[in-house]
Amino acid sequence: MVRKTIRLTTREELNTYMSPVRQELLRTLRLSGEPMTPKELSLRLKISASSVQHHLKKLLDLGVVEVDHRALINGITATYYRDSPVEVRMGMERGDDLREEREAMVGQMVEQVYGGFVERTRQVRAGMDEEALQGYAYLTSGLARLLPGERAGLLETVRRYLEAHERPGRPGEETWEYLIVAYRPEEQP
């Protein structure tokens, strides 16, 4: 499956996507693994349903959430939303006047995932050795020495693997939140 790519190129698009409430709304949809109504989202996020509706409209316009289905509940038609299977690109390579906003967004993403990692390790750390802890949280870093074709192959393999496992549906599966940061550092002498 080829994922649709959304490129955030304007200040308005970046601000829409960067909103902390909208990021939490997207994260809640992803973690739930199931389509949710604005009412369900408002209860989880502890904000009003009208606020959720407002934020969903903005995310719909951007293309990062979509309507999954509608159902009649107690005589009212409820709309169920899910996150869209898209890749969001923020244009980190661009040298325009939105560089600081892009960097702030990436910083928020890193902070959110790392904060979740730290919290999860605190929750399960008591009495566990490192190998047992890896069943709940895992962090590694290092260097890989790759030829240009190998780099492209690695990125494509990781992308395909993650896309194949982003939607729920298998008995016994676990949800893992991740953030992969890879870059080519300045060459050392």
In whole angstroms, give the CA distance from residue 39 to residue 79: 10
Contact 31, 113 (CB under 8 A): no
The helix/strand/coil state of 52 is helix
CA distance to 59, 87, 110, 125, per residue, from 179 (Å): 21, 13, 7, 21
Token digits of residue 86: 């898209």
Tokens of 77: 């038609």
What residues does 99 pair with on adjacent strands? none
Return the sign of the alpha-carbon dihedral for residues 28, 29, 35, 39.
positive
How many helices and strands (H and E) does the chain possess? 7, 4
> Tell me, what amino acid is at 159?
R
pLDDT at residue 2 in the model: 59
- Decide: 60 and 17 in contact? Cβ < 8 Å: no
pLDDT in tens, 3-19: 789 998 888 998 899 89
Residue 188 confidence class, pLDDT cut points 50, 70, 90? low
Going by pLDDT thresholds of 50, 70 and 90, the confidence category of residue 120 is: confident
- Higher pLDDT among residues 3 and 80, named by residue: 80
Greatest mean pLDDT among 18-22, 56-60, 134-138 lies in 56-60
Q: Could you read off the pLDDT of 49-77 as tens digits, one per residue?
A: 999 999 999 999 999 999 999 999 899 99
Give the H/E segment covering residue 6.
strand 4-7
Mean pLDDT estimate for the chain: 88
pTM of the entire predicted model: 0.79
Within 34-159, strands assigned E span: 65-73, 76-83, 86-89
Residue with tokens 């996507």: 17
